[in-house]
Structure 1
Amino acid sequence: MRRFTQGFYGYAVALFVCLAAAGLFLLVTPQSREEHIPRLDYSITVANFGHSVPYGVWAPSQDPPGWVPNSNRIAKGENGAQVLYLGYATADRQHAMFAQSDEQPAAGFASRMANTDKAVGTQQVGGATWEKRFREDKKQRSLVRVLPDMTLVITGTADWQELAQLASVLQQRPQG
């Protein structure tokens, strides 16, 4: 028995036993090859935001096909303004976020959300004009719409078409 505990053969046997145990462990451990993105319902957050602001809140009427809502929150912006954030994983598994606030000045809020103040054009979505902004170093695209009482921003790594897809399902809900 001594020859299996010393020298090269002992090392080889110990290595084989360890590899066999690791292989057996991998064989019997369930493995999922599917991506799992947690889905978070934002309806309560949107309702709470609607009760805390003096204007009708914009929110998606439905999620775009294949999109997963994965974050939502209400935060304080500049000058005490409320900000609603809704985050998504898009159908192409890019990131998109919708933010809205009545923060003043509106240009400051839009520039902070888009990480740039440079417009690169406009895009029509459902009859509304959105300003396009792009920050090259972050590969961040943004659609900005400044309304009389609030500013809407859709931003992220998603392409322009995906951002427009989110803009197309936004609807203003009655105040209250």
Structure 2
Amino acid sequence: MRLTQTFYGYVVAMLVCLAGVGVFLLMTPQSRTEHIPKREYTITVANFNRAVPYKVWRPSQDPAGWIANSNRIADGSAGAKVLYLGFATAKREHAMFAQSGEQPAAGFGNRMANSDKSIGTEQINGQPWDKRFREDKKQRTLIRTLPGVTLVVTGTADWPELTQLAASLQELPKPS
């Protein structure tokens, strides 16, 4: 008589299989530590600064506990270049800084915010930033429009974290 021809035989076969899976799981190395890839953005910002005719901005330093985890230069609307710098915040939310010389500036800001509805302004380092919030995406956005360039700080991070990133931005000199 075969082992699996009775109910008890099936139970024994299942227990043997589960024991094998348990041994496999115990022997497989598992990491319990968080791993967020770090991506240095200094060279990307320098390349962007050489590629565009307007002044470029970047964080003077990453806020404490934040990890820069993405950066890229992309072609935006009407051939305008766009710089994207992504971060995992200290609270492990997402924040991104983007800038572009796209005209009209409102189009870039609206696309980055996924909204054209302002909910007010925020004074950061004495400068007004337009605030946007998109409830369904839990996306908060700060937008500052300057002559020739639009700066956007956006993400799922809370307002104090986004404000911290916006406050860290500094204008870079153009390379000679």
Aligned residues: percent identity? 68
Residue 145 of structure 1 deviates from its aligned partner by 0.5
5 Å matches for 1:65-80?
65-80=64-79
Q: Secondary structure at the match of 1:107?
A: helix
Q: CA RMSD in A?
A: 1.4
Is there any run of 5+ residues in structure 2 with no aligned partner, and where? none
Aligned to 1:38: 37
The alignment's TM-score, normalised by the length of structure 2, stands at 0.93
Superposed CA offset, 1:34-78 (max 9, x none)? 221111111111111011011221011111111111111111111
Aligned to 2:147: 148
In the comparison of the two structures, how many residue pairs are matched?
175
Equivalent residues of 1:134, 1:142 under 8 A apart:
yes
Aligned structure 1 segments of 4 or more residues deviating by more than 6 angstroms: none
User: Distance between the aligned counterparts of 2:108 and 2:144, measured in 1?
Assistant: 11
User: Distance between the aligned counterparts of 1:77 and 1:112, measured in 2?
Assistant: 11
User: Distance between the aligned counterparts of 1:99 and 1:9, measured in 2?
Assistant: 64
Aligned to 1:82: 81
User: Distance between the aligned counterparts of 1:72 and 1:163, measured in 2?
Assistant: 17
Is there any run of 5+ residues in structure 1 with no aligned partner, and where? none
Paired AA for residue 9 in structure 2: G
User: Distance between the aligned counterparts of 1:33 and 1:135, measured in 2?
Assistant: 34
User: Distance between the aligned counterparts of 1:45 and 1:68, measured in 2?
Assistant: 16
User: Distance between the aligned counterparts of 2:35 and 2:63, measured in 1?
Assistant: 18
